[in-house]
Amino acid sequence: MPLLLAKGGWVFWLILVTGAVAVAVFIERLLHYHRAQINSLEFLNGVKNVLKRENIVEAVSICDATPGPVARMVKVAILNRERGREGMREALEEAGLVEVPRLEEKLGVLATVAQIAPLMGLFGAVLGFMRVFWRVQVTGLPLQPPEFAAGMWQGLICLGAGLAVAVPAYVAHNFLVSRLNDVLLEMETSSTEIIHLLSGRGDPMGS
């Protein structure tokens, strides 16, 4: 590693910083999605049992005590129950406009890192090659092997570092998108079920 730091040049350091940002974003989003996912079936059954007793305050309290967007969406439906089915649907759509951007936040950072890291590596490689040719032009003499190797080292290290950052960032982005889709599906399913329950059209949660 010391050899890479010494020979990679400033572009290599920039790639390392970019990789560190990607790691930080991935960990933060992973923890965020972990907190956002709950046992929605158990949660909805608890809310359902309370609503059967027409205890709205306790149902809202359960939502407040449960983390994640699913609970917040259910709370919105409960608070807008008197507006009817369409009113609840409109309120949930408005709430979704707030919740979805929160869930999608920072995913673009990982996608950007996956796209620009190889380009940064290529840029570092070009600088390394330019260093070699500049030395040839300045000295007017054939380069000695150490001087030639220094430029090649810089180019290859930057190329390798760019790919080493880009590939994990791409995989991490796709993994987080799959987790995001799971949360969005839970939100959609729970919203549909609570609307059915509050509008008195069947018992979708079963029991």
Q: What is the pLDDT of residues 32-64, one digit of tens each?
A: 998 888 888 888 889 988 988 888 899 999 999
Q: Model pTM?
A: 0.80
Question: Is residue 89 assigned to a domain?
Answer: yes
Question: Is residue 176 assigned to a domain?
Answer: yes
Q: How far apart are the C-alpha atoms of 23 and 6, rounded to whole Å?
A: 23
Question: Is residue 121 assigned to a domain?
Answer: yes
Q: Can you give the residue range of the structural domain that contains 121?
A: 2-198
Overall number of domains in the chain: 1
pLDDT of the residue at 206: 40
Q: Which amino acid is at 81?
A: R
Joined tokens for residue 167: 């590939």
Question: Is residue 207 assigned to a domain?
Answer: no
pLDDT of the residue at 53: 86
